[in-house]
Amino acid sequence: MLNIIASTHIAPADTLTVNGERLMQMMTDVGAIGALPNGGVRRLAFSPEDRECRQLVRSWMAAAGMTVTIDAAGNMIGRYAGRFPQAPALATGSHLDTVPNAGIYDGTYGVLAGVEVARTLHDQGIRPDHPIEVIVFADEERTMIGSKAMAGKANLEPSFYEHPHYEPIDMGVNFIGGDWAQLPSAKRDTDGLAAFVELHVEQGPVLEAAGNPMGLVTGIVGQRRYLIAIDGTASHAGTTPMPMRQDALVAASQIILAVNRLGNKTGDGYGEQVATVGAMQLSPNVANTIPGRVEMTLDIRDLSNQRLDAMVAELEAEMDAIATQTQTQIHIKPQLRNEPVPVNSHIYNAIAQVCDELKLPAQSLPSRASHDAQIIASITDMGMIFVPSQDGISHSETEYTTPEHCIQGANILLHTLLKLDQHYRCPEYLPAIRTESKV
């Protein structure tokens, strides 16, 4: 019986394709909402442009035969019915809100590719076993309130998200159709969501440098941020002899080079990590005074917590040696810790298999940027597909991905969802499928 139910809608990967022209037209139409003079877009979460854009996307979802709802967190969810309504959904999606000077691809591409997948299924009369959902997450770029609420991880107190440049978050969520007072109701789990696959532009230069393969995301890196404080002695730059100085900036400079060496380390599992000193303050910051104190940030990211621990331990040993040599005191304080999020291996394999079937070269890589997918991974199986970004540029008006890569990515998403439709067979709803199929 399983053979019968599993084979009704399966098309060979190379015969069923999305409508690429329609996808690119949707990209152009959405890019016009909040358009900036140089081809970019400014569509801040909860702005009138954000709301207008959602209305337009909602109309396309409806045209694909989807029912559209907005949950309490303001997530807009288009649902394409499956053959078995009691089955949990296979979901995709991303965000339509942008940073102030954005390109048109970040987030938007993942949403519209999802909509195009649904439109293709609708056009072809294909009805998967599971419902397919396309989720437009609320405010990805600043608070990730949409995905956090869906994962049950949102702070219910609006003041937690307070920011001098933004209106209160409860007002924003309500403006786009959410209902802050009911925020906990946005929570989902595996009973409703079997899997989530996010398609996104890479936002980095790795795929382009490798000759533009499709990106098989291995996980979203863990991120740790520290504050390093170096105390020396501020004294006269003319009268203090060189051997008698406790120059905090000289110590800081050596630490920066040590951080850079750690980032460049290879072998022993190293090679994907990044390490950055991005901000620094020195005092008194005067031309004729030896710097007495330096404060600087350290940001390290990797897929492995073990390697992150080892990097910090190695740097601490180096800082001890630098402190002795420069006669300074060095302290390091943790400020932020986001755990690495691996992707689900079944979804990763499904994406890899689809790339193979579509004869599209693919390469594994971690995501070093945050995405809604990393939050949703806490409630269901998660996978991600990347398409190449030209020159690796993102969060910029010059962000660009070729139409060819956009269309290829959407086809990978389409066939990945169809493959997962066959993979997920939860005991709770499998009997129902068998019964109905026998009728």
What is the helix (H) or strand (E) element at residue 366, kind and residue range? strand 362-367
198 interacts with Zn ion by CB under 5 A: no
- Spatial distance between the Cα atoms of 123 and 316, rounded to a whole number of angstroms: 60
User: In whole angstroms, how close is the CB of 140 to Zn ion at the nearest point?
Assistant: 6
- Spatial distance between the Cα atoms of 273 and 403, rounded to a whole number of angstroms: 31
By C-beta, is 31 or 82 nearer to Zn ion?
Answer: 31
- Spatial distance between the Cα atoms of 389 and 401, rounded to a whole number of angstroms: 5
User: In whole angstroms, how close is the CB of 108 to Zn ion at the nearest point?
Assistant: 9
Judge contact between 190 and 379, C-beta under 8 A.
yes
By C-beta, is 82 or 107 nearer to Zn ion?
Answer: 107
By C-beta, is 367 or 416 nearer to Zn ion?
Answer: 367
User: In whole angstroms, how close is the CB of 203 to Zn ion at the nearest point?
Assistant: 7
By C-beta, is 275 or 413 nearer to Zn ion?
Answer: 413
Contact string 96-135 vs Zn ion (x = CB under 5 A): ----------xx----------------------------
Residue 168, both tokens: 């209160």
User: In whole angstroms, how close is the CB of 263 to Zn ion at the nearest point?
Assistant: 24
Residue 226, both tokens: 């520290």
By C-beta, is 107 or 219 nearer to Zn ion?
Answer: 107
For Zn ion, the nearest residue by Cβ is 107
- Spatial distance between the Cα atoms of 334 and 344, rounded to a whole number of angstroms: 29
Q: Which class for 342: exposed (0-12), middle (13-18), buried (19 or more C-beta within 10 A)?
A: middle
By C-beta, is 143 or 304 nearer to Zn ion?
Answer: 143
Q: Which class for 241: exposed (0-12), middle (13-18), buried (19 or more C-beta within 10 A)?
A: exposed
- Spatial distance between the Cα atoms of 399 and 334, rounded to a whole number of angstroms: 33
By C-beta, is 349 or 370 nearer to Zn ion?
Answer: 370
Judge contact between 247 and 289, C-beta under 8 A.
no
By C-beta, is 103 or 107 nearer to Zn ion?
Answer: 107
- Spatial distance between the Cα atoms of 168 and 170, rounded to a whole number of angstroms: 6
**Could you tell me how many residues of this chain bind Zn ion (CB under 5 A)?**
2
User: In whole angstroms, how close is the CB of 382 to Zn ion at the nearest point?
Assistant: 15
Judge contact between 144 and 378, C-beta under 8 A.
no
- Kindly provide the b/e burial profile for residues 345-356, where b requires at least 16 CB atoms within 10 angstroms of the residue's own CB: eebbebbbebbe
- Spatial distance between the Cα atoms of 122 and 354, rounded to a whole number of angstroms: 21
User: In whole angstroms, how close is the CB of 176 to Zn ion at the nearest point?
Assistant: 17
User: In whole angstroms, how close is the CB of 393 to Zn ion at the nearest point?
Assistant: 14
User: In whole angstroms, how close is the CB of 159 to Zn ion at the nearest point?
Assistant: 26
In the chain, the N- to C-terminal Cα span, in Å, equals: 11
By C-beta, is 50 or 106 nearer to Zn ion?
Answer: 106
User: In whole angstroms, how close is the CB of 379 to Zn ion at the nearest point?
Assistant: 19
Judge contact between 416 and 410, C-beta under 8 A.
no
Contact string 219-248 vs Zn ion (x = CB under 5 A): ------------------------------
Secondary-structure breakdown of the chain: helix, strand, coil percentages, each rounded to the nearest 5? 40, 20, 40
Contact residues for Zn ion, defined by CB under 5 A: 106-107
